[in-house]
Amino acid sequence: MDQTPILSVQNLNIKFSLRGKQLHAIRDVSLDLYEGETLAIVGESGSGKSVLTKAFMGLNDLNGWIESGHIYYKGQDLAAFTTEKQWLTIRGGEIAMVLQDPMTSLNPLKTIGAQITEALKLHRQVTGPEAYRKMIEILNDVGIAHPEARAKQYPHEFSGGMRQRVVIAIAIACSPKILICDEPTTALDVTIQAQILHLIRDLVRKYNLTTVYITHDLGVVANVADRVAVMYAGDIVEIGSSREVFYDARHPYTWALLSSLPQLGAKGEALFSIKGTPPNLYAEIKGDAFAPRNPHALKIDFEERPPFFDVSPTHKARTWLLDPRAPHVEPPEILKRLKKAGALK
Amino acid sequence: MTMEREPLLSVRDLKVAFGPRRHPFYAVRGVSFDIYPGETFGLVGESGSGKTTIGRAIIRIYEAAAGEILFKGQKINGRISKKLDREVTRKIQMIFQDPMASLNERAKVDYIVSEGLYNVEKHLSKEERKKRVDAALMAVGLLPEFASRFPHEFSGGQRQRIGIARALVMQPEFIVADEPISALDVSIRAQVLNLLAELQKERGFTYLFISHDLSVMRFICDRIAVIHKGRLVELAETETLFHHPLHPYTKALLSAVPVPSPDERQEGPPVIYDESVHDYSVDQPVWVEIEPGHMILGNQKELAAYRALLSEDSDGN
């Protein structure tokens, strides 16, 4: 992994205005994305993982705004962008996105060939037969058989998995540097999911992409990610290499998330479940947002937000448990099952 | 699972057709299985495989084109008496996939949960009905006060609990759970799975658990049937199916499930199930019990190969 950040988020705060109230969706997040890596952002719905990545492309809804912080990309601060014109220099050509539902992210009135060529014309400045040739090449790359015939078809003539391939083709056609995959396989069957993940991995290699996966499926994360960031209530609570987060997690939320995997459960026993509900982001959060649901919470967790403690040069977690003064808490016994190779097969 | 027990529900050569009568499309093409009292029977397949159609045929939303569905030995598909219809409506309940879509937005929780009682137990007084609703809400971990609220006031997990309470209030014996947790977050998913398991322990429910998520099914199901394009291809006890899958489709399905452990990453290309490996032009496939409790679809040649595999396995161990 190359250690130069291609994109750097610093102390980002994003707020939304909803029904006269302010919702603090992203709370002081800092994150470096390294060139060529695959980073997975995991979290439950409402944890802010989509809002964070949409901010990289200026795609958040109009009732949301960046309160403070920076998103540095190639020497520019994306957080300071104000006009659509500025964003158009980033969207597609620099950062492209693959969305969850291929049923809704394609234009039903245009052939898929036309939709891919459109991206090529806009971002690679190729036209005519050259664009056609390129389009066929990309369709081949994403594993669509008989590209010449398929290019003339409309989205409704494709199955879900094939449509997601088309969406990926459009993203690739823009020749981006960063590919953001927002739950790219959630709407798909497992066998199709395996194929799409394999395809994305091939394309990442071929086009030398930096990839961000947003997902709540820890199985997918383990399969694709070099690094994993765990989000809770608009904040990154733990980040580290894939092995560090899965095998040596330090934040109680990460423990809880991993423990509730059905793969770790034993039949007849209750599955581990996190008590309570995620916090209300309309209210200002004091201390560690996970504290009310955390059985290991310390007094300070309710009072002061924990800083990031370094576990290793690549691994850090935002929990007071890592403070030298904190009592020693063992991670849940059940997580050892993750390490046993083959135990989950 | 002892096989001598009387099945609670039997499906015999079930076919379900859609479309015009003259050119019907068979979504379910001859499916047979038994579900025994107290067990959790899983039905796994991809979208369009017909798994939901089977569930819906059992609760009589869809009509069976052929075959029989027996509940406690009584035929419940086709024309049945009003009395039996009422009994089946009460004893077989369904939990739906998306709690955001399956609750009436304009009705209060009280009405949503008790709606079935209005139809089937008309004699209940207002107080008795209220008592039943409160008990159902408490059983799923909600407060009776919630009865006067509207669905939009609840989170996804709570809404799914309301969906479960709606089934409970009828005091069913058999519950068809159609992807009850696929729309939920990981932590909420665990809560709902635990609730389903708890209810089963307390009340002896029998579940038909329909899902595409094999990792969840492994945790909750006693036996699993794999369906592909409207036909069952394999049925076995859960661990047998995971350890010794025989049918190529089951194998492809199992290999596609991502393992939440970075050291067990699937590097190579995924296994793709190719139907053309089966040559059914002359030798038609049959649904047979290849070892006790393990059913499989195959023609004579394939069955011989599967048997060889099985004896190899038992020699190896």
Element (H, E) at A246: helix A242-247
pLDDT the model gives residue A53: 94
Name the residue facing B253 among A160, A190, A220 (closest C-beta).
A190
* Integer Cα distance of A287 and B134 in angstroms: 37
* Integer Cα distance of B131 and B30 in angstroms: 43
**DSSP string for A285-338:** P-S-TTGGG-TT--GGGGTS---PEEEETTEEE--GGGSTTSPP-PPPGGGHHH
As to burial, measured by CB atoms within 10 angstroms (0-12 exposed, 13-18 middle, 19+ buried), residue B66 is middle
Mean pLDDT of chain B: 91
**First-residue to last-residue Cα distance in chain B:** 22
- Confidence category of residue A110, pLDDT binned at 50, 70, 90: very high
Q: Do A345 and B259 touch (CB under 8 A)?
A: yes
pLDDT the model gives residue B275: 87
pLDDT the model gives residue A267: 79
* Integer Cα distance of A217 and A187 in angstroms: 12
Mean pLDDT of chain A: 91
Name the residue facing B256 among A193, A218, A273 (closest C-beta).
A193
Per-residue pLDDT at A46 exceeds 90 = no
HSE, side-chain direction, 13 A CA sphere, residue B44 = 32
Residues of chain A found within 8 Å of residue B272, distances taken between Cβ atoms: 191, 195
pLDDT single digits (tens) B77-94: 989 999 999 999 999 999
Contact yes or no for B22/B32 (Cβ under 8 A):
no
Per-residue pLDDT at A200 exceeds 90 = yes
For range A92-112, the mean pLDDT = 90
- Looking at residue A310, what DSSP letter applies? E
Contact yes or no for B132/B91 (Cβ under 8 A):
no
Q: Do A341 and B263 touch (CB under 8 A)?
A: yes
pLDDT the model gives residue B4: 64
Per-residue pLDDT at B240 exceeds 60 = yes
Contact yes or no for A3/A34 (Cβ under 8 A):
yes
Share of chain B above pLDDT 70, in %: 97
Two tokens, residue A210? 């930096």
Residues in CB range of A341: below 8 A, 6 or more apart:
B261, B263, B264
* Integer Cα distance of A55 and A80 in angstroms: 11
pLDDT the model gives residue A188: 84
pLDDT the model gives residue A27: 94
Two tokens, residue A274? 């996190």
Name the residue facing A263 among B47, B260, B273 (closest C-beta).
B260
Q: Do B212 and A342 touch (CB under 8 A)?
A: no
pLDDT single digits (tens) B266-310: 778 888 888 888 888 888 999 999 999 999 999 999 999 999 988
Residues of chain B found within 8 Å of residue A189, distances taken between Cβ atoms: 46-47, 212
Q: Which residues on neighbouring strands pair with residue B89, listed in sequence order?
A: none
Two tokens, residue B207? 């579940």
Residues of chain B found within 8 Å of residue A260, distances taken between Cβ atoms: 186-187, 189-190
- Confidence category of residue A1, pLDDT binned at 50, 70, 90: very low
pLDDT the model gives residue A345: 53
For range A63-78, the mean pLDDT = 94
pLDDT the model gives residue B70: 96
DSSP three-state, residue B139: helix
- Confidence category of residue A344, pLDDT binned at 50, 70, 90: low
For range A97-106, the mean pLDDT = 86
Question: What is the amino acid identity at position A108?
Answer: P
Q: Do A262 and B264 touch (CB under 8 A)?
A: no
Two tokens, residue B252? 């492809």
Nearest-Cα residue of chain B relative to residue A195: B270
Where do the DSSP E strands lie in A186-261?
A: 210-215, 227-232, 235-241
Q: Tokens 């394939």 identify what position? A: B302
pTM confidence score: 0.88
Best B261, B271, B273, B274 residue to mutate vs chain A (most A CBs within 10 Å): B261
* Integer Cα distance of A78 and A58 in angstroms: 8
Residues of chain A found within 8 Å of residue B47, distances taken between Cβ atoms: 160, 189
pLDDT the model gives residue B279: 87
Nearest-Cα residue of chain B relative to residue A42: B186
